[in-house]
Structure 1
Amino acid sequence: MKNAPFWRSRAVRHGIVWLLVISLFGLLVRAVGAGSLRTLGLRYTTLLLGVQALAIYAHFWLLTHLLERRRYGRYALATLALVAAGAIVLTLADQVDKLNIVKLQVQAGGGPPTGSLRFAQSAANVVFALVLATIARYVRRGIVSHLQVQQLRALQLETELSLLKAQVNQHFLFNTLNNLYGLSLAAPNQMPEALLQLAGLMRYQLDSSRQALVTVGTEAEYLANYIGLEKLRLRQNSRVEFQTSLPHPDQPLAPLMLLPLVENCFKHAIGPSGENTIRITLTQTATGLILRTDNSIPPHFRPTPSGLGLPALRARLAQFYPGPRHQLTLNATTTHYTATLTLQFV
């Protein structure tokens, strides 16, 4: 990425890692001896790290072009050849350049290691570097992948929230304006209160769009305004009860966690005829918040699943309040639809 910070460049990251590795090996060599022994150690360490670095980046190429493309046989053969090549280089360099690792690896039994033992030691050094680098590669890739999934999930939830707000704004505002028009003709003295409720809803929409959290009291006020405006389109024989008990209204809460259930009540309760009953209670306990809704279902009413309300609520519940402590329970019979949302803050 052109605008990525300097430290996020792959070359810079790898350079820092190798600088740390070289510094560590240099300190170890300085600690084990002096004079010719130290010089010998520095020469061998330089050669070893050079071979390991080449083997690591060659192995990265094999991982990308063979293993991750499921060419397992070719990958195994190529990796064995790579390890053998690295071991041969180290062994030959030891013989030709007189990098006598006998002085660095004194055997308990005395004499110098045989050629086969030197080859095995060199191969082990190469394998160790490949295994360590491969683990680091996939651990980092897993972390990056997890962060990307989290970012995509957050973006999806933000999009769903925006769509949910848009859905509320469009459909609800259209119905409310029609209801306000009818109210202005039938009961103009009730218009000021209804307009204040509508203004409260719009203010909430603007404020919550700029905030990651609202308060329980703010959400309850939003529900009260929403319910007050929805009641305008109910028949005279309909009953709507909204009760709250909020001893700590300043408790933070993710926005629009409660509205989908309340909206669902009015969606299911309003039928072509008959009495409509809606009961909504919002109770704050010592440890959390409980929203209970209960609405009647008109006879022969078959609501079709549509909208983003409940799916968006489930997604937001999983994101902001994960775990079995937070629950959404839905229950439908032929005459009633009940829902309970339980959030635990402590």
Structure 2
Amino acid sequence: MARHDQTPTQTGLLSSSLLLGVLAPAIYLHDWLLANLLDRRRYAQYATATLATLLAAGALLHFLNHMANIHIVDREGHTQTVAYRYGLAVGNVLLGLLLATIAHYVRRGIVSHFQMQQLRALQLETELSLLKAQVNQHFLFNTLNNLYGLSLAAPEQMPEALLQLAGLMRYQLDSSRLSTVTVGTEAEYLANYIGLEKLRLRDNTTVEFTTDLPRPEQPLAPLLLLPLVENCFKHAIGPGGPNTIRIELTQTDTGLTLRTGNSIPPHFRATPSGLGLPTLRARLAQYYPGNRHRLDIKASDTFYAATLQLML
């Protein structure tokens, strides 16, 4: 209760206004102490400065309440002691600082979370750029050699092969500027890639590529399918015996499934590429998180199969 000429409502509003007026600079100062002392592990200085801030803010609030003629009385109508009123003011300031500190770290945690997401997205885009550069270097070198051989052995196939190469290079150039492409353009890119890879295959290698895409206009993150297709041609080529590569891309109203399978030549030992599958898994987690994607890989000594399912 308060002993003065104002109504309880007016007293409450005045008391709250004084408390907020004292808390605002105290919270601002405490935020500075958090950033410049506590975060730098200067714990003793932080504790001393925070205690001084708390006591000074409590004294100021107590003084302002006294000047505004706001006095706390007990049930019998007796005015509480100065020490009690000062302790109550310090307690109110302490509660305000605690709530502000919690909000400070919650806000910092949220900001840090979004910053980490942005950094992770930037890292993935950098890895994607490296993946594109890696594909460009070794694939373009091999393709040019294959085109040279094709020009000597079967020059009538050169126009189609050059168109495939131009389409592939155009797609990589365009996709580098886009966050999403379409299922249809990604499938066309894979067809051009497979067609050019087939130029270097021997007669003992069979390649099957089938698609069923009723909704080719659906959006898709670029170059998600390439690593699994690329692995088929890295791992399935052997000098002796039959080699088999099967690639199947199917689509429903809400999903896309890529199935790849390839035989493994005897005595084959895979060498880690460093960017292919790890980058694919990271990009899947970024663009199709949780149950929006599923990647299953089954490998034996003679066959390697991968199934990628996406919820579009």
Q: What is the TM-score of this pair, normalised by structure 1?
A: 0.81
Give the alignment partner of residue 80 of structure 1, picking from 28, 32, 51. Answer: 51
The 3 A distance-change label for structure 1 pair 74 and 175 is same
**Residues 1:101 and 2:70 aligned together:** yes
Contact 2:205 2:242 in 1 (8 A): yes
The answer to whether the aligner puts 1:158 opposite 2:125 as a matched pair is yes
1:189 aligns with 2:147: no
Identify which range, 158-167 or 112-121, moves more after superposition: 112-121
Distance 1:204 1:30 in 2: 75
Q: Residue 55 of structure 1 corresponds to which residue in structure 2? A: 26
Letter in 2 for 1:267: K
Deviation string, structure 1 residues 145-200 (Cα, Å, up to 9, x no partner): 12211211111111111111111111111100100110010011111111111111
Query: Do structure 1's residue 147 and structure 2's residue 114 form an aligned pair?
Result: yes
Distance in 2 separating the partners of 1:220 and 1:127: 63
Answering whether residue 217 of structure 2 is matched by residue 239 of structure 1, we say no
Q: How far off is 1:65 after superposition? A: 4.0
Q: 1:271 aligns with which of 214, 238, 243?
A: 238
The question of 1:313 aligning with 2:280 is answered: yes
Partner of residue 280, structure 1: 247
Q: Write the distance in 2 (CA, Å) between the matches of 1:47 and 1:342.
A: 61
Pick from 109, 119, 133 the counterpart of residue 100 of structure 2. 133
1:247-267 CA distance string (max 9 Å, x none): 111111100010110001000
Single out whichever of 174-183 and 204-213 deviates more from structure 2. Answer: 204-213
Q: How many residues align?
A: 307
Q: Where do residues 1-346 of structure 1 align in structure 2 (5 Å cutoff)?
A: 32-33=9-10, 48-72=19-43, 75-92=46-63, 94-95=65-66, 98-102=67-71, 108-345=75-312
Q: Distance in 2 between matches of 1:93 and 1:319?
A: 54
In 1, Cα distance between the equivalents of 2:184 and 2:200? Answer: 26
Alpha-carbon RMSD: 2.4
Structure 1: unaligned runs, 5 residues or longer? 1-28
**Corresponding residue SS for 1:343:** strand
Percentage of matched positions with identical amino acids: 70
Shift of the 30–253 alpha-carbon distance from structure 1 to 2, 3 Å rule, reads farther
Q: What does the per-residue CA deviation read over 1:66-121, in whole Å, with 9 as the maximum and x for residues that have no partner?
A: 433445565445433432232233334555xx43212xx56544232221220122
Does the aligned pair in 1 maintain the 2:147–2:161 contact within 8 Å? yes
Q: Higher relative CO (CA 8 A, sep ≥ 6), structure 1 or 2? A: 2
**Residue 321 to residue 93, structure 1, CA distance change in 2 (3 Å):** closer
Distance (whole Å) between structure 2 residues aligned to residue 277 and residue 94 of structure 1:
87
